[in-house]
Amino acid sequence: MPNIDSNTIGQNDGGQLRHSPTKIHVELYKPLIGHKQGIYCAIETQTGLFTAGGEGAIVRWTWSQLANNEEPAGELWATIPEPIFCLATQEDTTVLAGTQKGNIYRLSRDRGPLTIKVDSQSVYFIRWWKDLYWVGTGSGKLAIFDRDLKLVEWLQLASKSLRSMEIFEDSAWIGCSDSNIYRLSINSSNPASVPNSSVESHTDSSSEVIQTNSRTAIINVPESREWSLTINQWSANHPSVFGIVALGHNKIVSVGRDAHVRLFSDTQLKLAVPAHLGTIHGLSSHPRLPWFATGSMDKSIKIWRWNSAEAEGDTIDLIKVINREKFAGTMGHSHSVNAVLWISPAGQDLLLKSMDLTNSSESINDHQHKSMGSFLLSVGDDRQGLLWFIKEF
């Protein structure tokens, strides 16, 4: 699919920015301060949040620490000798860190550390899907590991960096620095015949290469299973796709270096909205509402509403801009926003329960006020995380 300029898109007022009538209240709930260099990634677990970044430090922020009236003091979970670009967890006892030098570090309180060399270039994501870890690297390699981090197989998916991965049921989407999105669809039944594939599949670095001319590859996975992996690709954000979220089975939003938000239905571009003044690094979908958040090199966070009314077609409307200018320079990021993360309903419940235990003086009205809103975490090059409370009114 060729690149399409936003001005050629008919919906969303010809690709122009629209403002939503939705009104929301935004307040800074807590700053997360302590990192010595920029923060590149954040994840949620049952016990709280983990952040990591340029100095190689992994910091845990428990729900009880975040609920305390005082400024939270994070717990240094581990330090490794290189920048960390992504995180994943195995329950709450083990953290997986993907690094600038192409390593995965397994760091656990229950067992000794493990270092795995995945690639000569950076590891940009580690995602758990279909009982396997899917790891994207700077050389375009998609490495697949089992729970014990033993290599199952790897695919040379592209020639440039694989930057992000989104999962929805039996499909996954990967954003790449070749401006393409790659959709992976799994057929777990043994295929009667295998179409030719242009994807190289490897069981390890010394295995025979299977190379054909279509977009299907066969992957041998544990427990004697065999998958047919169908791969579709199409052009999206130029020149790099840095984030993808799924809005359902066939609809996704992508962001990237072109500072646009792009909405696709299946592989068809529906909307291309000029969203920020610089590269969009962060993207996160709200767990309950038809909202998503973006974070950009322009130092701002934006909250968006996706509307899918059949009569009007799809629209994406801007609800709120969060930056230092909006708060008279007192709150917000002073440098690039690298990641955003909506807190899940389960996480929010745990945070509110911790507030009950630590803040006995908090009024009932204030507690009810927070229970009806949402929490959003943003992290950036200014070495801080900001936990925002957001409520529609």
pLDDT band at 229 (very low <50, low <70, confident <90, very high): confident
Considering only residues 200 and 172, tell me which one the structure prediction assigns the higher pLDDT. Answer: 172
Q: Taking Cα atoms as reference points, which of 345, 340, 347 lies closest to residue 320?
A: 340
Asked if 293 contacts 42 with a C-beta cutoff of 8 angstroms, the reply is: no
Residue 316 in this model has a pLDDT that exceeds 90: yes
Residue 205 in this model has a pLDDT that exceeds 50: no
pLDDT at 330: 75
Residue 64 in this model has a pLDDT that exceeds 70: yes
355 burial level (CB within 10 Å; 0-12, 13-18, 19+): buried
pLDDT at 197: 43
The pairing of beta strand 313-322 with beta strand 18-19: parallel
59-66: average pLDDT? 91
54-62: average pLDDT? 96
Residue 359 in this model has a pLDDT that exceeds 70: no
Q: Taking Cα atoms as reference points, which of 130, 117, 147, 337 lies closest to residue 243?
A: 337
pLDDT at 364: 40
| Fold (topology level) of 8-392 | Methylamine Dehydrogenase; Chain H (2.130.10)
Residue 207 in this model has a pLDDT that exceeds 60: no
Q: Taking Cα atoms as reference points, which of 18, 7, 11 lies closest to residue 265?
A: 11
The residue extents of the domains of the chain are 8-392
pTM attached to this predicted model: 0.87
pLDDT band at 350 (very low <50, low <70, confident <90, very high): confident
* Number of C-beta neighbours around residue 232 at 10 A: 15
pLDDT at 18: 77
| Coil, strand or helix at 8 | helix
